Structure 1
Amino acid sequence: MRLRWLLPVAFSTFSLAQSFTVQNSNTTSDLRGLSAVSPHIAWASGTHGTYLRSIDGGETWTVGTVPGAETLDFRDVEAFSADEAYLLAAGPSEQSRIYKTTDGGRNWTLQFTNHDPKGFYDCIAFWDPMHGIAVGDPVHGQFALVATNDGGASWNPVPSVSRPRSLATEGAFAGSGTCLSIQGESVWLVTGGNAARVFRSSNRGNTWAAADAPILHDS
C-alpha cells in the first residue's frame, strides 16, 4: 500500500511546498495512524499489528509487527523521537491496548489492556512524553478515559466525576486516531453518532465543557 494520504499530512506540516512525492510504505496492511516528529522522523500504524518508522523524511520506511499484536488494529500512534513512540490498538474489550517502545521499535512494552467487555478505546494523545490520555466509547453513559503521569508505566481510569457524559448512541471516532487533540493544558474530544459534539477540557481532563458541532452526523 502506498502512503498517498499519509505523507502529504506528515511533511506538509514542515514545508510550504505545494508538490508531494508518493512514497512506498513496503506493507500491504491498511494504515490508520500517523505521527510526524520532525521533517525527517515519522511513525505510522495500521492493521495486523503493523507499525512503520522513517528517519529520512519518508525516503525509506522500516516496517515491523509488534509481537503478540498480530491481530490488532493500531488506529493511533504518538511519537516523540526516532526511538520513543506509543501505539493504541482499537477494538472491543481486550483488543484495546497501549504499547510503547523506547528503542525505535526493536522492543515493545504492553502498558495497558482494556478489561471492560463493553469498552472500546479510540484515541490517545500526550501533553509531553510523561503525561497522556486515552479515550474510549461511552460505557454506562460516560466516555471511558485513562491517563498516565509516568510515561505509561501506569494508566489509571479517570474518576467518574471527571469523565464527560454522553448522549444516546454518541461515540468517539476510531478511524484514524484523530478524535483527541492537545494544545497547552487543554484537550479536545470530538464525537459522532446521533450527535456531533466537541468537548474541551482546559485542565488536562479534570473538567469538560461540551458544544454542539454544526456538521453532518448520524452516519
Structure 2
Amino acid sequence: MKRIVLLILGVVVFFSCGKKEAVAKSRELNEVFIINHQLDSLLSIRALEITKDDNVFFLTSNGYGGVVYYSDADEKSNVVYPIPMAHDSVNNNFRAFAATNYNGFALSIASPARLYKIKNDEKVLVYQENHPKAFYDSMEFWNDQEGIAIGDSTDDCLSVIITRDGGNTWKKLSCNDLPKGTENEGAFAASDTNIAIIGNNTWVATTASRVYYSPDKGETWRVYNTPIVKAKETEGIYSIDFYDELNGFAIGGDYTKPDNNAANKIRTNDGGKTWQLVAQNQNPGYRSCVQYIPNGNGKELVAVGFKGVDYSNDSGDSWKHLSDEGFYTIRILNDSVAYAAGAGRISKLVFK
C-alpha cells in the first residue's frame, strides 16, 4: 500500500478545466450513476483533484488525505485512506489542494493557516500565517513554478499568497498591489473552486459577489462587480469556472436557504468584465461548485451542492436535475465521468 501512495503522490497533478477542444453541438445528458466510497460520515471533504494517472486525491477536515485509484486486478476503484498530511501531530482542517508535476500542496483554513509541500513521504511546511483572522479558501497553479492561494481579508484587502519557485516559498501580496476590499471580504471555503485559471489569466470569486481578474499571473489586478445576490454574509459567489479566456460561469446563493434560486447564477462572454444573470428564478438554487464539461463547446456545465446534482447543455440558460445526492465539490475527468466529494464520502459519477 505504501508503494501505491508513494507512486501517486510522486506524479500527482491537478486536472485543469482550461483549454478544451470544442465540438459542433452539445449533447443531452439525462441521468447520472453514482458509485459511493463511504468513509467517516463526520468528515467534511471539500478538496480533491484528479491526478495525472486518472486517480483522485482528496483532503479531509481532520487533516488527512486519501486516494481513489482503479485496480486492474479486481477491475474496480479502491480507496487508500487515511494518509497523514502534516509533518507533525497538528490537526489541520484542509479545504484546498493543488499540485504540480513534482509536488502536491495542502492548505488548511483557520489560524494558524498552514501550507504543506508534499512529495512521497516528505511533508514540508512552506508557509504559515498566524494572524487571528487568517482563513484560506482555495489554491491553484499556473504552471510547475507559479501558484496562487487566496483567503479572507486580514487587513483592507483580500489575502493573496503567490509562489514563483515551485512552491518552496510563498509571499503575501501587499494591499497596495490589490484592489481595495469591501468590509470582511473573503471567499467561501466550500469547494476549492474560488479560483479559475486559463493560461496567464486568473479569476477569483469572493463573498462580496465580486470577481478579481489578473491577466499576468497575479502581477496586476482589477475587480468587477457581479449581480449575484449579496444581502447577507451567507450569500455570494461560491464557485467559478472558465471554459476559455472569454467564457465563464459562476454560481452561489445562500446555503441557509438552498431552495432560493433568484440571482445565484451568472455568465460572462467577455472574460469577466461583465456578468449576466441566467436561469433567473429557475432551479438550481444554492450550489457550492460548478464546472464545465470538457469538449462541450462551453455549453455543458455540472453544478453540485448538498441538495443534489444539476446539468446544463445551453451555457446555463436552463438546467436539468439529475440527482438528489448531495456533494460539496466535483472535478470532471472527461465528458462522461466525474468525481465528487461530500460529507464523509468520495463518489464516481457516470453521466449518460
Give the equivalent residue in structure 1 for 2:225. 212
Quote the residue 1:4 is aligned against: none
Quick check: 2:157–2:185 contact (8 Å CA) kept in 1?
no
Match of 2:49 in 1: 35
Could you tell me whether the CA contact under 8 Å between 2:156 and 2:175 is conserved in 1? no
Tell me the equivalent position of 1:73.
Answer: 93
Using the TM superposition, give the Cα deviation of residue 22 of structure 1 relative to its aligned residue in structure 2, in angstroms: 1.3
Count of aligned pairs: 201
- Deviations 1:114-158, CA, capped at 9 Å, x for gaps: 122232222111111221011121122111111111111111122
Contact 2:145 2:167 in 1 (8 A): yes
The 1-side partners of 2:32 and 2:132 are apart by: 46
Residue 87 in structure 1 maps to residue 100 in structure 2: no
Bigger relative contact order (CA 8 A; separation at least 6): 2
TM-score by length of 1: 0.80
**SS at 2:49's partner residue?**
strand
Tell me which structure has the larger Cα radius of gyration. 2
* Alpha-carbon distance change, 69 to 120 in structure 1, aligned in 2, over 3 angstroms: farther
Return 43-52 or 173-182, whichever deviates more: 173-182
Q: Does 1:111 align with 2:130?
A: no
Give, in whole Å, the separation in 2 of the partners of 1:42 and 1:34.
7
- Shift of residue 98 of structure 1? 0.8
TM-score calculated relative to the size of structure 2: 0.52
Show the 5 A alignment for 1:128-207. 128-192=143-207, 195-207=208-220
> Which residue type is aligned with residue 106 of structure 2?
L
1:60 to 64, 78, 82: 78
Moved more, 63-72 or 43-52: 63-72
**1:70 Cα deviation after fit:** 4.9
- Structure 2 unpaired stretches of 5+: 1-13, 21-26, 235-352
Q: CA deviation at 1:183?
A: 1.2
* Counterpart residue identity of residue 86, structure 1: F
Identical amino acids, percent of aligned pairs: 26
User: Letter of the aligned partner of 2:55 in structure 1?
Assistant: I
Any conservation in 2 of the 1:36–1:79 contact (CA below 8 Å)? no
Task: Determine the C-alpha separation between the residues in 2 that align with 1:216 and 1:69.
Answer: 41
Segments of structure 1 that go 5 or more residues without pairing to the other structure are 1-9
Query: What is the CA deviation profile of residues 20-56 of structure 1, one whole-angstrom value per residue up to 9, with x for unaligned ones?
Result: 3413154442211111124622211111102112332
Cα RMSD, aligned residues only? 2.7
1:161 is paired with a residue whose SS is helix
Render the CA deviation track for 1:71-123: whole Å, top value 9, x for unaligned. 21110111345x731111111x21x11112122xx331111111222322221
Which residue is equivalent to 2:338? none
Cα 1:50–1:25, aligned 2, differ >3 Å: closer, same or farther? farther
